[in-house]
Structure 1
């Protein structure tokens, strides 16, 4: 019973927690509300809230827990290029 019901759920929770911890500036995400955007930065040192860039001049602040999934991951080499453009 454990391996059929509880173990898969625990594994999914662990994967989501890891995904949320690995979010970085420039990653493309979708929220639980269906909003798509790019991470523009983090609100505090703890990185519990992030700034989601939806359009050129439109940003919103969301909790990290509101992220449903990762659409596109930015590579470390691309982070330098993003910082150079700003």
Structure 2
């Protein structure tokens, strides 16, 4: 018999076995869904805090530019020949020369 079968055939009177299944489901949800999302959020926060003037970045809308000014809440992005746009810091998706973009642009067409 499998472990799951044993859990499903637990006595209807309750006991530790009937509590084991919800605890097991909670642990699976935590380790496969909640914890990775928390890690991803922390990485994004540390990336946005590490932005410096002069970095080439891409916004969440796909706009490429160079950071001219970095404030606590906003950044000033120079996009083309003096055109400057102010964005919220959360709108910066990644650096323009990140490995993910280099891998897709340097791959030769089949």
Q: TM-score range by the shorter chain?
A: 0.7 to 0.9
TM-score, length basis structure 1:
0.74
Which of 1 and 2 has greater Rg?
2
- Of Structure 1 and Structure 2, the greater strand share is in 1
Secondary structure of residue in 2 paired with 1:15: helix
Paired positions, count:
70
The answer to which structure has the higher helix fraction is 2
Shift >6 Å, 4+ stretches: none
Change (3 A) 1:16 1:64: same
Structure 2: gaps (5+ residues): 1-27, 99-110
Unaligned stretches of 5+ residues in structure 1: 74-86
Q: TM-score, normalised by structure 2?
A: 0.59
User: Whose relative contact order is higher, 1 or 2, with alpha carbons under 8 Å and at least 6 apart?
Assistant: 1
Specify the alignment match of 1:20 in structure 2: 48
Q: Give the alignment's Cα RMSD to 1 decimal.
A: 1.5
